[in-house]
Amino acid sequence: MIKEISTLEELMSSTNVIRKSFITVADELGLTVQNCPTNPAFLDESDLLYKKENNNISMYGLFDDDNQIGFMALERQSPDSKVFYLERLAVLPEYRHKRYGRLLMDYAFEAVRKNCGEKISIGIINENVKLKIWYVEYGFKELEIKQYPHLPFDVCFLEKEV
């Protein structure tokens, strides 16, 4: 079941899911709180709460019974934009490769359509080849790869029409 995250308890649970999900890639790529403090593996509960309260963002949790096993957020690029950013798509490591990521993606596309959106845009670590292939196989097209001086990796931006 996928439902919108609305309570403080759900936000805290979501933070744990995000951290546990992203730490596998952070470890793989040698990312630490010192060299990449903004990586979701090092997310603080207050960061998610601030984003929820101060942005036009919807957050969703994926649940197996009462146990949260996944998360994603959708943010409209601007108030009149038809583009939505998909953020923090996460599935706990022990639940991966069971189509839960695809379930979240399908839900995201339906939510964007319901809100008159036309595209979903994402930014991922370019060096995470496995994830990049997953998005491309889902139908995303690579737009560009950018380097940022504060990040120890390149960012690949992808987009897909809904």
List the CATH number of the domain containing 30: 3.40.630.30
**Cβ burial 51-75 (10 Å sphere, 16+ → b, else e):** bbeeeebbbbbbeeeeebbbbbbbb
Q: How confident is the model at residue 107 (pLDDT cuts 50, 70, 90)?
A: very high
Q: Is the pLDDT of residue 52 over 90?
A: no
The pLDDT, as a whole number, for residue 44 is 83
pTM of the complete model: 0.91
Judge whether 111 and 58 are in contact, CB under 8 Å: yes
Specify the number of domains making up the chain.
1
Q: Is the pLDDT of residue 45 over 90?
A: no
The pLDDT, as a whole number, for residue 147 is 96
Q: How confident is the model at residue 15 (pLDDT cuts 50, 70, 90)?
A: very high
The pLDDT, as a whole number, for residue 33 is 94
Which residues sit opposite 68 in a β-bridge? 63
Q: Could you tell me what percent of the chain has a pLDDT over 70?
A: 96
Q: Is the pLDDT of residue 132 over 90?
A: yes
The pLDDT, as a whole number, for residue 84 is 96
The pLDDT, as a whole number, for residue 6 is 87
Residue 69 is encoded by which pair of tokens? 């096993």
Which residues sit opposite 73 in a β-bridge? 59, 87
Q: Is the pLDDT of residue 25 over 90?
A: yes
First and final C-alpha spacing in the chain = 22
**Cβ burial 91-111 (10 Å sphere, 16+ → b, else e):** bbeebeeeebbeebbebbbeb
Q: Is the pLDDT of residue 54 over 70?
A: no
The pLDDT, as a whole number, for residue 80 is 86
Q: Provide the domain limits for residue 49.
A: 2-161
Mean pLDDT on 81-105: 95
Judge whether 161 and 118 are in contact, CB under 8 Å: yes
Q: How confident is the model at residue 79 (pLDDT cuts 50, 70, 90)?
A: confident
